Amino acid sequence: MVAFLRWAVLFVPLCHAVRLHHNLYCDAGEVDIRRPPQPSRFGSPWPLPQHMKLSTDTFQLSGGGFAIVDAEESSARSDCSILQDAYRRCYLHMFGSDVGKHARTTGSPVLTELQVWISSPDPECDGYPTVTSDESYELFVSLPNAVLKAATVWGALHGLETFSQLVREDESGIKCINETIIQDFPRFAYRGVLLDTSRHFLPVRSILTTLEAMAMNKFNVFHWHIVDDTSFPYMSRTFPELSRKGAYHPYTHVYTPGEVKLVIEFARLRGIRVLPEFDTPGHTQSWGKGQPDLLTPCYSGATPSGTYGPVNPILNSTYDFMTTFFKEISEVFPDAYIHLGGDEVDFTCWKSNPDIQKFMVKQGFGQDYSKLESYYIQRLLDIVSSLKKGYVIWQEVFDNGVKLKPDTIVHVWIGGGTNEELGNVTSAGYTTVLSAPWYLDYISYGQDWQKYYKVEPLNFNGTAQQKKLVVGGEACMWGEYVDGTNLTPRLWPRASAVAERLWSAVDVTDPDDAFDRLSAHRCRMVGRGIAAEPLFSSYCPKEFRGA
Amino acid sequence: MVAFLRWAVLFVPLCHAVRLHHNLYCDAGEVDIRRPPQPSRFGSPWPLPQHMKLSTDTFQLSGGGFAIVDAEESSARSDCSILQDAYRRCYLHMFGSDVGKHARTTGSPVLTELQVWISSPDPECDGYPTVTSDESYELFVSLPNAVLKAATVWGALHGLETFSQLVREDESGIKCINETIIQDFPRFAYRGVLLDTSRHFLPVRSILTTLEAMAMNKFNVFHWHIVDDTSFPYMSRTFPELSRKGAYHPYTHVYTPGEVKLVIEFARLRGIRVLPEFDTPGHTQSWGKGQPDLLTPCYSGATPSGTYGPVNPILNSTYDFMTTFFKEISEVFPDAYIHLGGDEVDFTCWKSNPDIQKFMVKQGFGQDYSKLESYYIQRLLDIVSSLKKGYVIWQEVFDNGVKLKPDTIVHVWIGGGTNEELGNVTSAGYTTVLSAPWYLDYISYGQDWQKYYKVEPLNFNGTAQQKKLVVGGEACMWGEYVDGTNLTPRLWPRASAVAERLWSAVDVTDPDDAFDRLSAHRCRMVGRGIAAEPLFSSYCPKEFRGA
């Protein structure tokens, strides 16, 4: 029998008295959940599916007697390696080392098969996910077999993850699953995580672990802030000096072309886009080490001071370099977009340089150096457009009035005035991605996941048409204080809160149910080898066994 | 040639302009160090030795041609396993996998031997460290061989750690060490780290990793807050029901007698005391599950509510239980002290209970329930005294006027009025340990290690005699938000700041030199497999290779 459940939207703001020894900060409106986690009536899917009908009837599953197979009607065949890979992953997530076990002969009926049915003529087995990919799926868990139906492999990947999350152990340690019907699709098409591999180098292994965890949370964009002032770990084929001189170390702290390819393919197999960011004209100190004359020489009075500022926007050689460099980038990274940065340009050095001053006069820019910045960005955008790539830029580029192609994505990150900015960007007709409330590198004591969870991205003044332009959001983990030692527990499960906000329905906001499901979800991640940190005093059946 | 260096005490408070995208909080008086770490003129010993003479002359060392041996004059012989174990550890820290390599025939002179000379007739090879152990050592790095001289093995352990920290790699990857003379001893005798294994269970492996890192930082007390309200993972031989019913899980989330013994021996081999805490009468919810009638039944009006409060102080059975229980504890844990807690007793339940009310009348306590608390504590202290153990108690026990033995240690933890409390405790003649400024479970964005580093424990009004009663301090890592997933990067290198404050001379306060040495020290810990998190944008020659 299938019972219909409605989403509970019970917001219970209770903030217990502060205790001295084990003080708990409780921000305005934040819920201080001090009870042990309870089983949620939804089980523990995270993020919560859009529509879910859950029966109390259960089926047994066993590693020795369960198969995930292509449905006969499916357009994907056995050579669709992205699916085959996902079947294997799903199976391992469900059964781990219990692969040889068989179901009991008594007890609940046995479910032996999950059939995966790709319904679109082109399953997109060899494609890359895009911002317009169809990620929806339907899941029918019933006898004689479970069916996962999706238009493309992208929806199927999410459905397999959900299926694996529905499987649990009963009191006797038997794997079981409830009779269930799910119709699911993301609320937002862009659900990103930013890693910064410049301020600290992240070993490829850390990046792959992050991609694994992202797939468990249905994130679909890895925004790779790959280079910055501090170091240039990207090994360029056309300009090898950039990493040779700009990386922390030319051999141990670089990403080789093979490793970049590995990251992209590992991400693709999990339905994740890799959006590379090469931020200019600021944040480029490390570029200057391997590319002479790229940066602006700063002056102290009438003489060069020996230090360098942003990219030099007045030399033709700069644009020749950018053309060649971004041609390489557009070939190495298959995604339709490149993130071009454009944030935080410091004008001090430009102002000090007499050649720049002359150029300003010649161009009629007066003393308005943001016009010079726009001049540079405009030319850069033209270059990237000619490479048939779309671009994402940080919000300052929009704020400064640079002319943008209509399909440009404006990335909103500044903490103050976020809603006003979203209104401005969308009323100008631009697509936008929101990161401002989700700077996860900022840490604080207590359950700050709730703060991230409570954000409503569309809570700004604007028409329905404007709101459609918010394609999603992104959790940012900047790298000043983060490297391979602490990345994973700092990112998870805090980023999971963002994941559910971006995937689930607008009214999925009950903090108590979220606490219960998220507690189970973080233990599930721990069980799968992800060092996701705890929400509050409690335990996991299988604790983390790393260092 | 040996050059004499004086400690630099340059405090350069510079707080750069806040940048938007990569905002850095800069507390009042905190130094915002945004430059890459530089080599310190002291090399990278951490904590900084009390006296250090460093020459520019260097010697080569090689894994294939270096030995650590007992000096002929030493009172310790080859059966002193604590030293043999430490020699091996020191060797591995210096040479890692380079054990087979040999020194170059050209270049600096080759150092082939470190002789370890224990000068006291009793080297204490089979003893346990105590608060009065002699931890001092002298180190002479010169030809024909280096000599480490210490009264006991406890000083030798620290000297070996320092020696291993003096060894570095030159530009060609050759291990080398400067000619050096060190006379070293701790400023404070008690240098502790608290782990909380109740709110989250910590796998034994996490505890051992912590002990390893503690030894690298010359900490000497592991304060094991082993049980609390949330869970009782200590497996008692006399009361097995306590963990069977009170642990998160009776098999997977307990410390067996064998594991406790392992932790104690692992700590001893590193010169670390294990101070167990069994906190009563509050913080005992988990005790009640396996020991009926131990806790006070709370009343709702005239009937028991079904919930329980602190330990029931009016029953003889309570004291019988405590006598038997602490007899076991006093035998299992060899340390001369037991931490008895005594913090945060909530009187609500006691007030509700009619039997307690009658007892209050009978004893003439009026409505002053702190008298009842003192009554309990007093009887508990008598029990523990009769077991020939000293005790440490949280400050409330002192604040409430409980009669204490003169050698009681009062543990100061309350954040407000700390200096006043230190004045009061020491003017009453009690020994004290300071934790209030070092609650490392409280996290915040940025370089908060500096806040811990800046603390001066003796900065309170009191006589020289009073200040001698401050035997040390302790970094606390409470477990509400900490388990095996995030313990190590959250504890290190933040606890290292506390370690230097407690070991080094009072005038070692230069934040820039500390930043440089601590950056190198954290990379050294990473190289030794400890996932110590970064201080700021930078890199380690060998990055962490864990998850």
Report chain A residues whose CB lies below 8 A from the CB of B479. 537
The structure tokens listed for B324 are: 């038997």
| E-strand stretches of B62-163 | 67-70, 113-118, 137-141, 146-150
In one-letter notation, the amino acid at residue A497 is: A
CA A97, chain centre distance (Å): 29
The structure tokens listed for B77 are: 């012989």
Distance CA B231, CA B289 (A): 10
Determine contact, residues B528/B49, Cβ cutoff 8 Å.
no
Task: Determine the length of chain B.
Answer: 547
Q: 3-state DSSP call for residue B238?
A: coil
Question: In this complex, do B443 and A444 lie within 8 Å of one another by their Cβ atoms?
Answer: yes
Determine contact, residues A160/A68, Cβ cutoff 8 Å.
yes
Task: Tell me which residue has tokens 């299926």.
Answer: A163
| E-strand stretches of B51-174 | 51-61, 67-70, 113-118, 137-141, 146-150, 168-169
> What is the set of active-site residues of B?
344
A234 pLDDT exceeds 60? yes
DSSP characters over B330-349: HHH--SSEEE--------HH
Q: 3-state DSSP call for residue B283?
A: coil
Under 8 Å CB-to-CB from A6, ≥6 apart: which residues? none
Under 8 Å CB-to-CB from B343, ≥6 apart: which residues? A21, B279, B282, B283, B394, B395, B396, B397, B413
Closest approach of B165 to chain A, Cα-based (Å): 21
Distance CA A206, CA A212 (A): 10
| Residues β-bridged to residue A304 | A299
Minimum-distance CB partner of B413 among A21, A446, A481: A21
Distance CA A149, CA A156 (A): 7
Closest-CA residue to B19 (of A163, A183, A396, A107): A396
Question: In this complex, do A443 and B442 lie within 8 Å of one another by their Cβ atoms?
Answer: no
The structure tokens listed for B288 are: 């009640």
Closest approach of A205 to chain B, Cα-based (Å): 7
Helices (H), B27-175: 81-95, 153-166
Question: In this complex, do A484 and B446 lie within 8 Å of one another by their Cβ atoms?
Answer: no
Overall average pLDDT of the A309-314 stretch: 98
Question: In this complex, do B489 and A484 lie within 8 Å of one another by their Cβ atoms?
Answer: no
First-to-last alpha carbon distance for chain A, in angstroms, is 46
Minimum-distance CB partner of B478 among A22, A249, A414: A22
Please give the residue of chain A at the shortest CA–CA distance from B530.
Answer: A547
User: 3-state SS string over A483-523?
Assistant: CCCCHHHHHCCHHHHHHHHHHCCCCCCCHHHHHHHHHHHHH
Question: In this complex, do A343 and B21 lie within 8 Å of one another by their Cβ atoms?
Answer: yes
**pLDDT recorded at residue A407:** 85
- The bridge status of strand B168-169 relative to strand B137-141 is unpaired
Question: In this complex, do B199 and A532 lie within 8 Å of one another by their Cβ atoms?
Answer: no
Minimum-distance CB partner of A547 among B209, B441, B542: B209
φ/ψ of B12, rounded to 5, equals: -115, 90
Report chain B residues whose CB lies below 8 A from the CB of A545. 203, 205, 484
Question: What pTM was estimated for this model as a whole?
Answer: 0.93
Q: 3-state DSSP call for residue A451?
A: helix
Report chain B residues whose CB lies below 8 A from the CB of A412. none
Q: Residue A176 has what DSSP assignment?
A: E
Element (H, E) at B130: none
Closest approach of B184 to chain A, Cα-based (Å): 31
Task: Determine the length of chain A.
Answer: 547
DSSP characters over B412-455: E--STTHHHHHHHHHHTT-EEEE-GGGBTTS-BSS-THHHHHH-
Distance CA A46, CA A497 (A): 9
- Spell out, as residue ranges, where chain B has pLDDT lower than 70: 1-32, 547
Determine contact, residues A117/A71, Cβ cutoff 8 Å.
yes
How many Cα atoms sit within 13 Å of A357 on the Cβ side?
11
Distance CA A509, CA A456 (A): 10
Report chain B residues whose CB lies below 8 A from the CB of A286. none
A383 pLDDT exceeds 70? yes
**pLDDT recorded at residue B405:** 84
Q: Residue B121 has what DSSP assignment?
A: S
φ/ψ of A128, rounded to 5, equals: -115, 145
Question: In this complex, do A200 and B24 lie within 8 Å of one another by their Cβ atoms?
Answer: no
Closest approach of B20 to chain A, Cα-based (Å): 8
Closest approach of B201 to chain A, Cα-based (Å): 7
CA distances (Å), B414 to each of A112, A188, B44, B395, B422, in order? Answer: 59, 47, 34, 8, 11
Question: In this complex, do A546 and B541 lie within 8 Å of one another by their Cβ atoms?
Answer: no
Under 8 Å CB-to-CB from B312, ≥6 apart: which residues? B293, B294, B295, B296, B297, B318, B356
Q: 3-state DSSP call for residue A164?
A: helix
Report chain A residues whose CB lies below 8 A from the CB of B544. 203, 483-485
Task: State pLDDT tens for residues A483-510.
Answer: 999 999 999 999 999 999 999 999 999 9
- The bridge status of strand A190-196 relative to strand A470-477 is parallel
Question: In this complex, do B546 and A545 lie within 8 Å of one another by their Cβ atoms?
Answer: no
Under 8 Å CB-to-CB from A201, ≥6 apart: which residues? A231, A233, A247, A248, A253, A483, B539, B543
Question: In this complex, do B248 and A539 lie within 8 Å of one another by their Cβ atoms?
Answer: yes
Report chain B residues whose CB lies below 8 A from the CB of A489. 485-486, 489
The structure tokens listed for B267 are: 């700590």
Complex ipTM, two decimals? 0.91
Distance CA A78, CA A63 (A): 21
- The bridge status of strand B51-61 relative to strand B175-184 is antiparallel
Task: Tell me which residue has tokens 């050592």.
Answer: B137
Question: In this complex, do A480 and B231 lie within 8 Å of one another by their Cβ atoms?
Answer: no
φ/ψ of B284, rounded to 5, equals: -125, 15
In one-letter notation, the amino acid at residue A523 is: C
Please give the residue of chain B at the shortest CA–CA distance from A547.
Answer: B206
Which is more confident, A30 or A90?
A90
A461 pLDDT exceeds 70? yes
Report chain A residues whose CB lies below 8 A from the CB of B205. 545, 547
Report chain B residues whose CB lies below 8 A from the CB of A536. 480-481
> What is the set of active-site residues of A?
344
Chain pair A-B, CB pairs under 8 angstroms:
172
Distance CA B85, CA A500 (A): 51
Q: 3-state DSSP call for residue A9?
A: coil
User: Which phi-psi region, left, alpha or beta, contains residue B306 (left: φ > 0; alpha: ψ -120 to 50)?
Assistant: left
Closest approach of A133 to chain B, Cα-based (Å): 31
Distance CA A253, CA A251 (A): 6
φ/ψ of A292, rounded to 5, equals: -60, 150
Distance CA A439, CA B22 (A): 10
Q: What percent of chain A has pLDDT over 90?
A: 87
Distance CA A275, CA A130 (A): 11
DSSP characters over B5-23: -PPP-------PPPPSTT-
Helices (H), B167-227: 204-216
Distance CA A307, CA A351 (A): 14
φ/ψ of B112, rounded to 5, equals: -115, -10
Task: State pLDDT tens for residues A19-72.
Answer: 345 544 444 445 567 788 999 989 999 999 999 999 999 999 999 999 999 999
Question: In this complex, do A533 and B248 lie within 8 Å of one another by their Cβ atoms?
Answer: no
Distance CA B88, CA B94 (A): 10
Under 8 Å CB-to-CB from A265, ≥6 apart: which residues? none
First-to-last alpha carbon distance for chain B, in angstroms, is 46
Determine contact, residues B314/B363, Cβ cutoff 8 Å.
no
Q: 3-state DSSP call for residue B214?
A: helix
Report chain B residues whose CB lies below 8 A from the CB of A22. 478, 480
Overall average pLDDT of the A82-92 stretch: 97
Minimum-distance CB partner of B485 among A230, A444, A489: A489
Minimum-distance CB partner of B545 among A203, A446, A490: A203
Based on the number of CB atoms within 10 Å of its own CB, is A132 exposed (0-12), middle (13-18) or buried (19 or more)?
exposed
Please give the residue of chain B at the shortest CA–CA distance from A210.
Answer: B547
Element (H, E) at A474: strand A470-477
